């Protein structure tokens, strides 16, 4: 091994050596006494790691450089002479001996080569691979090296070697063509638009040729083309393309004259396309104006009269006459439609006098749609109103059945049920102590979704109203199921699960939303939970608390439970009269923590209610509310639903209707549709008082 030209070499007979004569290593090789060889070895080590000799041309100085640069400038020819020959080289598996520097193998084959790390460092391993023209003419191979086990499959990053025009070559070309026929070029690039360019010519890339060719029908392709045309129209792509082209052209004249020659033939076509687009916009302005008429009819929830349509068109014309271009004129006309009282309010016509009269069919359609979908009437409802059939009982009931199954019933689940139970927008709740309950922010969306799905299902599938209390099912995904301790639920998708009572679930009493809403930031609150049952579910009303009521600590003292803390607080005479009405309901729910989980250690949930009935836990409370207090619960539900449908507070004159609904619910398995249809068919829902009616 050497790194510089040697001035002295051993020219004696025998093996050629690059070791400097008279150097320490040379002496070590010549020495026969073991003691002397050991001493010389130590000196060689000191030479290699110590200070260099002053005379850098001395034999030991040259030896030191060789020892410290063993991985540089290696003479492989000399090295090979001292190594054993690798028997794998120089032999053809089928034809005998070949060039000794050639390695011939049958594919597939993994060849292991051991190369010293110091020799390999900083170098590239280069192999020239060829197919045997005779025995490998129909072969197809890839050559690649790695330090890991090689997987026997095609490597997309390596060249495929075949013999030109061979059967294997043609088969591989066909296979690659088939692949390119199925997969577009865009799949090969993580980014289409270059990030190192100030201006790019193509503004929007459309890479759906393969998708359209393989998957779409002719009708679907036309629809896709139309959507792209609409998108490019709205984006003003042709005129923006002209601007981008001009910028690139100017840049090219400064530093890329070679590109200018390629751009010049394109300029006329680019400018013509931009001019055609401008003309097209002018020719289609009337389409936008005409589209305002059906849009206004939908926004105002009624067909427009000729006068209404003329006013809208005249407004646009006056804005254009004042000097505005088409776009701002259309936007202002659109704003006028959306700021009209006809859009902002549910306007209804009242007749003179104090007598109630039926609302019009269109007004009834709006009432029905906002009741069951929290939105404006759809086309089918408008059609039924326009032809007058909606005023017939049978058609009205038919529309109720249809809208109850509509996906938009989810809105009613949120606007009515969640609002009544005080859990609307629970997914935005941030009143829990993050230090004690860091997991709350990550699960509150799932908690809320369970409630919304439960109420939506009640409407869509016409469930029993009593399921609000007694349901033995709920809706969960894997995250919420783990929170509840419900097993065998995998995946993020939502599903209805049955037999949840053994897990302590079922109905609104044990939903995480209601339990967490009626808890404090750091501890449960039997007071809040009890008051929620007393007022929200049973419709009772507590008087306002005294002004000087002492505040309870946010954190329960170590020597007390939340129940004991409340009981001590409730012993105050001025507090006891109200707390004895609500606290027992809350105590029954104390097995659930702040986030609605079942506590790992059973607590004291036995309690005696204000009427003397003894219950134990959520199951006991559920049974009590659904039996002993069933009428009170049904009355409260009916009052809330009627008030929501009418958009006003329930009055004394509504009590007869409420009684009829409750009686009919009991005769029809408590189906929610019974209550809804009673309300929709009632005079309260279908009539409006005269404008001269006086209220007390």
pLDDT tens-digit map of 62-96? 988 888 776 455 556 556 666 677 888 888 888 88
Q: Please provide the average confidence, as pLDDT, over all residues in the chain.
A: 88
Residue 684 has pLDDT above 70, yes or no: yes
- The confidence band for 12, taking pLDDT boundaries of 50, 70 and 90, is very low
Region of poorest pLDDT, from 163-167, 199-203, 449-453: 199-203
Residue 196 has pLDDT above 70, yes or no: no
Res 195: pLDDT: 61
CA dist 152 → 110, 168, 288, 534 (Å): 9, 18, 61, 71
Q: How many CA atoms lie within 13 A of 458 on its CB side?
A: 32
Alpha-carbon distance 255 to 267, whole Å?
Answer: 19
Taking alpha carbons only, the member of 148, 139, 153 closest to residue 107 is 139
DSSP 138-185: T--B-----SSPPPSS--TTSPPB--TTSHHHHHHHHHHHHHHHHS-G
Helix (H, G, I), strand (E, B) or coil at 421: coil
Alpha-carbon distance 226 to 284, whole Å?
Answer: 15
Helix (H, G, I), strand (E, B) or coil at 220: helix
Higher pLDDT, 400 or 694: 400
Give yes or no for a contact between 127 and 133, defined as CB atoms under 8 angstroms apart. no
The Cβ of residue 606 has, within 10 Å, a number of other Cβ atoms equal to 13
Alpha-carbon distance 441 to 616, whole Å?
Answer: 31
Higher pLDDT, 206 or 609: 609
- The confidence band for 443, taking pLDDT boundaries of 50, 70 and 90, is very high
Angle between helices 257-283 and 218-234 (to 10 degrees): 100
User: What are the tokens at 101?
Assistant: 């520097």
Residue 585 has pLDDT above 80, yes or no: yes
Residue 8 has pLDDT above 50, yes or no: no
Res 3: pLDDT: 41
Taking alpha carbons only, the member of 624, 657, 631, 467 closest to residue 539 is 631
Res 2: pLDDT: 36
Read off the pLDDT of each residue in 659-669 and give the average, rounded to a whole number.
Answer: 98
Which tens digits make up the pLDDT trace of 492-506?
999 999 999 999 999
Give yes or no for a contact between 139 and 149, defined as CB atoms under 8 angstroms apart. no
- The confidence band for 603, taking pLDDT boundaries of 50, 70 and 90, is confident
- The confidence band for 1, taking pLDDT boundaries of 50, 70 and 90, is very low
Res 134: pLDDT: 83
Read off the pLDDT of each residue in 324-340 and give the average, rounded to a whole number.
Answer: 96
Residue 184 has pLDDT above 90, yes or no: no
Residue 121 has pLDDT above 80, yes or no: no
Read off the pLDDT of each residue in 437-459 and give the average, rounded to a whole number.
Answer: 97
Alpha-carbon distance 228 to 339, whole Å?
Answer: 32
Res 100: pLDDT: 86
Res 193: pLDDT: 59
Strands 687-688 and 357-358: antiparallel
Residue 149 has pLDDT above 80, yes or no: no
Continuous segment of H or E residues that includes residue 495: strand 495-498
Q: Percent of the chain at pLDDT above 90?
A: 60
Residue 53: DSSP 8-state:
P
Alpha-carbon distance 693 to 696, whole Å?
Answer: 10
Q: Which of 20-29, 179-188, 343-352, 622-631 is the most confident on average?
A: 622-631
Question: What does R_g of the chain's alpha carbons equal in angstroms?
Answer: 43
Question: End-to-end alpha-carbon separation of the chain, Å?
Answer: 115
Read off the pLDDT of each residue in 98-102 and give the average, rounded to a whole number.
Answer: 86
Provide the β-strand partners of residue 238. Answer: none
Higher pLDDT, 225 or 259: 225
Residue 197 has pLDDT above 80, yes or no: no
- The confidence band for 198, taking pLDDT boundaries of 50, 70 and 90, is low
Res 336: pLDDT: 97
Read off the pLDDT of each residue in 369-398 and give the average, rounded to a whole number.
Answer: 96
Q: Percent of the chain at pLDDT above 70?
A: 90
- The confidence band for 182, taking pLDDT boundaries of 50, 70 and 90, is confident
Give yes or no for a contact between 354 and 694, defined as CB atoms under 8 angstroms apart. yes
Residue 451 has pLDDT above 70, yes or no: yes
Residue 190 has pLDDT above 70, yes or no: no
- The confidence band for 487, taking pLDDT boundaries of 50, 70 and 90, is very high
Res 95: pLDDT: 82
Residue 9 has pLDDT above 50, yes or no: no
Which tens digits make up the pLDDT trace of 519-573?
999 989 999 999 999 999 999 998 877 766 666 666 777 767 777 777 776 667 7
Alpha-carbon distance 650 to 639, whole Å?
Answer: 7
């Amino acid at each position: 091994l050497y790194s510089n030209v040697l001035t002295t070499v051993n020219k004696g007979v025998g093996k050629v050596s690059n070791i400097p004569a008279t150097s320490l290593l040379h002496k070590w090789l010549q020495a026969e006494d073991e003691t002397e060889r050991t001493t010389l070895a130590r000196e060689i080590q000191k030479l290699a790691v110590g200070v260099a000799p002053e005379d850098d041309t001395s034999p030991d100085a040259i030896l030191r450089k060789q020892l410290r640069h063993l991985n540089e400038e290696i003479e492989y020819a000399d090295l090979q002479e001292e190594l054993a020959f690798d028997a794998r080289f120089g032999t053809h598996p089928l034809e005998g001996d070949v060039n000794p520097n050639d390695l011939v193998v049958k594919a597939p084959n993994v060849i292991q080569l051991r190369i010293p790390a110091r020799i390999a460092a900083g170098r590239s391993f280069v192999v020239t691979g060829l197919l045997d023209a005779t025995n490998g003419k129909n072969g197809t191979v890839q050559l690649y090296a790695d330090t890991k086990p090689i997987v026997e499959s095609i490597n997309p990053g390596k060249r495929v070697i075949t013999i030109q025009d061979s059967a294997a070559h043609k088969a591989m070309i066909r296979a690659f063509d088939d692949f390119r026929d199925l997969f577009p070029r865009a799949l090969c690039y993580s980014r289409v638009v270059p990030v190192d360019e100030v201006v790019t010519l193509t503004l929007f890339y459309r890479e759906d040729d393969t998708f359209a060719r393989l998957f779409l029908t002719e009708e679907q392709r036309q629809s896709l083309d139309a959507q792209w045309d609409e998108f490019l129209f709205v984006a003003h792509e042709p005129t923006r393309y002209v601007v981008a082209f001009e910028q690139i052209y100017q840049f090219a004249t400064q530093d890329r004259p070679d590109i200018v020659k390629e751009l010049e033939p394109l300029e006329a076509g680019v400018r013509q396309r931009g001019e055609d687009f401008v003309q097209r916009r002018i020719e289609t302005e009337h389409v936008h104006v005409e589209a305002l008429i059906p849009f206004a009819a939908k926004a105002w929830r009624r067909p427009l009269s000729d006068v209404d349509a003329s006013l809208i068109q005249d407004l646009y014309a006056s804005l254009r006459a004042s000097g505005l271009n088409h776009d701002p004129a259309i936007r202002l006309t659109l704003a006028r439609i959306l700021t009209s009282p006809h859009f902002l309010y549910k306007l209804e016509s009242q007749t003179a006098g104090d007598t109630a009269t039926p609302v019009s069919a269109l007004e009834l359609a709006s009432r029905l749609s906002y009741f069951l979908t929290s939105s404006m009437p759809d086309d089918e409802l408008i059609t039924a109103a326009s032809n007058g059939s909606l005023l017939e009982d049978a058609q009205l009931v038919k529309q109720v059945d249809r809208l109850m199954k509509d996906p938009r019933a989810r809105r009613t689940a949120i606007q009515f049920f969640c609002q009544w139970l005080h859990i609307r927008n629970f997914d935005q709740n941030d009143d829990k102590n993050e230090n004690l309950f860091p997991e709350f922010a990550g699960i509150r969306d799932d908690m809320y979704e369970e409630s919304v799905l439960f109420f939506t299902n009640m409407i869509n599938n016409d469930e029993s109203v009593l399921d609000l209390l007694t349901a033995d099912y709920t809706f969960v995904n894997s995250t919420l199921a783990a929170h509840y301790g419900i097993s065998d639920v995998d995946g993020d998708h939502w599903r209805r699960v049955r037999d949840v009572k053994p897990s302590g679930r079922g109905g609104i009493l044990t939903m995480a939303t209601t339990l967490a809403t009626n808890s404090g930031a750091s501890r449960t609150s039997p007071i809040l939970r009890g008051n929620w049952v007393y007022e929200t579910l049973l419709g009772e009303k507590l008087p306002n608390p005294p002004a000087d009521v002492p505040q309870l600590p946010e954190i329960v003292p170590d020597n007390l439970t939340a129940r004991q803390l409340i009981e001590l607080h409730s012993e105050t005479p001025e507090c006891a009269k109200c707390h004895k009405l609500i606290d027992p309901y809350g105590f029954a729910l104390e097995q659930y923590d702040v986030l609605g989980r079942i506590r790992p250690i059973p607590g004291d949930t036995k309690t005696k209610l204000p009427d003397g009935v003894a219950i134990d836990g959520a199951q006991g409370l559920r049974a009590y509310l659904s039996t002993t207090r069933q009428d009170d619960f049904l009355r409260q539900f009916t009052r809330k639903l009627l008030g929501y449908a009418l958009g006003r507070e329930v009055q004394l004159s509504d009590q007869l209707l409420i009684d009829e609904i409750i009686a009919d619910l009991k005769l029809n398995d408590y189906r929610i549709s019974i209550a809804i249809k009673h309300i929709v068919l009632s005079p309260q829902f279908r009539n409006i008082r005269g404008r001269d009616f006086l209220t007390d």
